[in-house]
Structure 1
């Protein structure tokens, strides 16, 4: 089979346009599969050679929760997409219970395409509204990962004070919330203020690795992050088991507390990284 020709045909078909109703579309080429709602953004990306690899930089940055919770008992993921984070956590955190909440059944229907494992005793996919799940459930996850996007962008219910308050209440006493934002979303300052209403100054936000996404961390328990040296030491220890650039994430996580405090002024003075 001529893979280059097949890839070209797949790409040309994709360029003809995904459905206008926001139905997820899979672009398949010789080397990768990607998930899209439109022509402008990639929701998920999977290498055929290594389906469990975190190809997109923002997903590697979101795994920075390991710097604060290296051995979580339970992770709740809001947004499944192509399952990159779910698969990575399932493989590299064998003692962790993982629940992924996805509102779109059409996305869940693609789980076999993206090599997402079947439900079992430590992994489950639930079709539900992530905001409602956080409010109504009784489990106490150590980590909540928020990466929920529809065709029109991030749903409003995943970025307001009620949602962040519910996450704060739902998390374990020293739990961590990590949220992905698209870099050009004008509502990022609003999300930060809404998150601050629940987490106070226990916030950090910074540009994700190799991407035009911002990653927000919010945590319970200690008012401040560990020192920069302590975070770097943890990153070096974790590097043995996790193929991630946690040293860079540790530095940005510490620096991001200042950006969270001074978002507007820093945004006006710093050049973009994209």
Structure 2
């Protein structure tokens, strides 16, 4: 969200069902989830797919570098990069009640030498020169209580995301793939990152589509991708071979709609 507009931040609330705890922003929409007995595991399908960046990282670098989440949700990605991958992790969240809820209900640890939680505006963070090319992995999931569309979704924001990524860095963005806005957002990202550096996964049954964008990554051959996927499944118990079957380059109808 942009702080230039004075907006009311919805309070974070919680519900539980069948062993899963859900985060809400004072509405019925789910903003994140955690299986209570397995807090480090990724529960929601779209959150698992946001880890598809792992396919674009060399095996010896897969859990190295700085991982940043813009939008905390229920801190699932934060817990995973910090506790499981043991990466340097920063999370940027504008709503203080979300941070408090994650610490009270969703096993978000206190800050330490590898974890920094910032209560600030994601747009300001990506525009800060201090963060220029400091990030290897960027996860973007910025929705408010209406969950209608990303609250930051313009060219300036995605240009900021590109500038904070280091060479070889990868970004994943949660979008609604069946929404008319998906093509517009994907086109914006492709214009900034380059059409050969942007891919998407097929939508989840709920309609979430993960967009993947990289900064200067040479796409590996199929054998390398399959080896990486097998390694990810073996080490981290994530469905990486399934991701590989879902990944598609952006179609020309999105990149050049007038052609």
- TM-score interval for Structure 1 and Structure 2 normalised by the shorter chain: 0.7 to 0.9
TM-score, normalization by structure 1: 0.81
Please give the secondary structure, in 2, of the residue aligned with 1:217: strand
1:216 aligns with 2:211: yes
Question: What are the equivalent positions in structure 2 for 1:1-274 lying under 5 Å apart?
Answer: 22-29=10-17, 31-37=19-25, 39-69=27-57, 70-94=62-86, 96-112=87-103, 113-139=105-131, 140-153=134-147, 154-156=149-151, 158-201=152-195, 202-208=197-203, 211-222=206-217, 225-253=219-247, 256-259=248-251, 261-263=252-254
User: Structure 1 residue 183: deviation in Å?
Assistant: 3.6
> Contact 2:71–2:93 (CA<8 Å) still a contact in 1?
yes
Q: Is the contact between residue 177 and residue 203 of structure 2 (CA under 8 Å) also seen in structure 1?
A: no
Give 1:38 deviation, angstroms: 5.5
Deviation of 1:250 after TM superposition, in Å, equals 1.8
TM-score between both structures, scaled by the size of structure 2: 0.85
Cα gap change, 1:59/1:30 in structure 2, threshold over 3 Å: closer, same or farther? closer
Return the offset for 1:211.
Answer: 4.2
CA distance in 2, matches of 1:205, 1:38: 30
4+ residue segments displaced more than 4 Å: 208-211
Distance 1:221 1:108, change over 3 A: same
Post-superposition offset of 1:236: 0.6
- Cα distance in structure 2, aligned partners of 1:229 and 1:127: 42
Contact kept? 1:138, 1:170, Cα under 8 Å:
no
Unaligned runs of 5+ in 2: 1-7
Q: For the residues of structure 1 that align with 2:77 and 2:193, how far apart are their CA atoms?
A: 24
Greater RCO (Cα-Cα under 8 Å, separation 6 or more): 2
* 1:41, distance to aligned residue in structure 2 (A): 2.5
RMSD, matched Cα:
2.3
CA distance in 1, matches of 2:230, 2:18: 35
Structure with the larger strand share: 2
Tell me the CA shift for residue 22 of structure 1: 3.2
Using the alignment, how far apart are the partners of 1:45 and 1:208 within structure 2? 19
Q: Distance in 2 between matches of 1:137 and 1:155?
A: 24
